Amino acid sequence: MVKRLQTDVLVIGAGVIGSAVAMGLGLKGVDRVTVIDLDLAGEWSSSELNAGGVRATWSQKVNILTSKLSIEYFASIAELIGYRDCGYLWLHRKNSWEQALKGRELHIAHGWPVDVLDVQAIKKKIPFIDKTDDLVGAIFGVKDGLVNPNRLKEHYREEAQTRGVQFVDRMWVTASNAGSLSSKSSKITIKAFQFSDQISSEHKRVLLTQNPETLGDEAGTWIEIETKQVVNAAGAWAPHLAKILGYQSPSTPVRRQISLFHARDLDLTPYGMIVDPSGVYFHPESVYGLSGFCTPGEPAGFDFRYDGEGFFESHIWPALYERATAFESLRHVSGWSGLYENSPDHHAIVGRSHHSSIYEAHSFSGHGVMHSYAVGITLAELMVNSKYETLDLTELSPDRFISGKTIASETWVI
Ligand SMILES: Cc1cc2nc3c(=O)[nH]c(=O)nc-3n(C[C@H](O)[C@H](O)[C@H](O)COP(=O)(O)OP(=O)(O)OC[C@H]3O[C@@H](n4cnc5c(N)ncnc54)[C@H](O)[C@@H]3O)c2cc1C
């Protein structure tokens, strides 16, 4: 038996982005908004597996402004979402220093406070950084910091639910008629399977990494959802969902690993995010240090394996060892991997798709948490009033990959 569900707006994907868009639509007073996800808890979602860093220190204006608007909001609800303005310290060698200072000028010009530190000042600010021979200086994003991404996502959901938005769990979208409709058609039908019982962690992983053709009809119910508007907020799965919705999206899922380590005689809690010139970044995480690195040549794909001690010992520890005596003896505690959703220019894809009723908010290329608020409220503006009001994100339109109106790539990526 096929069940039917009718809604005005269907948001597919309830990560930090889908939840923020839901809040934006709720704030705009949009009725009948439904958000669906295979897993509302988001066990394998990037919103669950990220590093929680938020910064407006970017090379491109649109990213500076998107983060700035979001972080100002985070600061207004700091306690609720665990926002701390503990800063981002970017350590630089000679080869990247000029670019760093140029970038800083742009940050200041857009109202984002960023300090310049020489080596003495670095040592004073972060006394445990004592191996500095290769450094020329650092820039420090004063209001950059850390949030608890889960609490942020829950906050967006609560704000949305208060305004009548429905969140539906265990629903996996498999097909739609969107590809065969005219680009102005105002009714789209989405086919989804809703599992009756809790889905095991392994089953969710198989669905999300292998997208099997059969789902075992006895395990749930097929649903046909009729909607006037759709939002593709499927994170790293957005290109797959795009195909279901009848278009192509150029981004790719790529694994990123994170290690937790214990530094016996060092308390990291007073510090914020530190980005080493090697590309290794770290910050305090409860009583541990959290550190991540983009392994060169990582192939695209849905890979959630964590390489464990091997990853820590070949990529994280050597870089930390070279930075501080206190890091010479570190203990690997644990770690995990999640998916970046990389677009070709490392900018998010946000806006109306080729179809006037389908909107996109995905491919954040590793910066979705820190952009979530701005994207949530401005995409809602575009959907309701056909124009951006609070912040113009036209540059991020999916159209740029079709029209050839490319934008400069974002280069401050880690
Ligand atoms: C290791 C790592 C570190 C990171 N560090 C940071 C950081 O410090 N700061 C920062 O801002 N960002 C960071 N990011 C990036 C950030 O986590 C993501 O950009 C952000 O979480 C994307 O959110 P999202 O809602 O778009 O995607 P997701 O959170 O992945 O949500 C997408 C959802 O869509 C659902 N879905 C997909 N397909 C379907 C379907 N067919 N049917 C039903 N549901 C579907 C999935 O189940 C999933 O829950 C990091 C990411 C990783 C992996």
How much is the pLDDT for 180? 86
Pocket mutation for ligand 1, best pick of 47, 195, 343, 350 (most atoms within 8 Å of C-beta): 47
- The CA 15 to ligand 1 mean position distance, Å, reads 6
Rounded Cα–Cα distance for residues 351 and 335 (Å)? 34
- The CA 253 to ligand 1 mean position distance, Å, reads 10
Q: Is the model's pLDDT at 307 over the cut of 80?
A: yes
How much is the pLDDT for 78? 98
Return the ligand 1 atom nearest residue 369 CA.
11
- List Cβ neighbours of 3 (8 Å cut-off, separation of 6 or more): 194, 221, 222, 223, 224
CATH of domain 86-145+253-341: 3.30.9.10
- The CA 330 to ligand 1 mean position distance, Å, reads 30
How much is the pLDDT for 214? 81
Average pLDDT for 230-252: 97
Pocket mutation for ligand 1, best pick of 55, 83, 199, 369 (most atoms within 8 Å of C-beta): 369
- The CA 102 to ligand 1 mean position distance, Å, reads 31
232 burial via Cβ count (<10 Å: 0-12, 13-18, 19+)? buried
Pocket mutation for ligand 1, best pick of 44, 45, 83, 215 (most atoms within 8 Å of C-beta): 45
How much is the pLDDT for 229? 97
Residue corresponding to tokens 């991020």: 396
Q: Is the model's pLDDT at 217 over the cut of 90?
A: no
Average pLDDT for 47-58: 97
Pocket mutation for ligand 1, best pick of 17, 37, 46 (most atoms within 8 Å of C-beta): 46
Binding site membership of 234 for ligand 1 (Cβ less than 6 Å): yes
Using one digit for the tens of pLDDT, what is the confidence trace for 318-349? 999 999 999 999 999 999 999 999 999 999 99
Average pLDDT, the chain: 96
Q: Is the model's pLDDT at 182 over the cut of 80?
A: no
Return the ligand 1 atom nearest residue 153 CA.
25
Q: Is the model's pLDDT at 183 over the cut of 80?
A: no
Q: Is the model's pLDDT at 132 over the cut of 80?
A: yes
* Cβ-contact 265, 326 below 8 angstroms: yes
Using one digit for the tens of pLDDT, what is the confidence trace for 101-114? 999 999 999 999 99
How much is the pLDDT for 22? 98
CATH 3.40.50.11610 fits 2-48+150-250+345-403, yes or no: no
Q: What are phi and psi of 259, to 5 degrees?
A: -115, 145
Rounded Cα–Cα distance for residues 235 and 69 (Å)? 21
How much is the pLDDT for 186? 77
Q: Is the model's pLDDT at 211 over the cut of 90?
A: no
Using one digit for the tens of pLDDT, what is the confidence trace for 385-403? 999 999 999 999 999 999 8
Using one digit for the tens of pLDDT, what is the confidence trace for 254-304? 999 999 999 988 999 999 999 999 999 999 999 999 999 999 999 999 999
Q: Is the model's pLDDT at 354 over the cut of 90?
A: no
Pocket mutation for ligand 1, best pick of 50, 396, 413 (most atoms within 8 Å of C-beta): 50
Average pLDDT for 90-107: 98
- The CA 284 to ligand 1 mean position distance, Å, reads 22
Domain locations in the chain? 2-48+150-250+345-403, 86-145+253-341
- The CA 132 to ligand 1 mean position distance, Å, reads 35
Return the ligand 1 atom nearest residue 204 CA.
47
Q: Whose CA is nearest to atom 20 of ligand 1?
A: 368
Binding site membership of 207 for ligand 1 (Cβ less than 6 Å): no
Average pLDDT for 105-134: 98
Rounded Cα–Cα distance for residues 17 and 365 (Å)? 13
pLDDT over 70 percentage in the chain: 100
Q: pLDDT-derived band of residue 76, with 50, 70 and 90 as boundaries?
A: very high
- The CA 383 to ligand 1 mean position distance, Å, reads 22
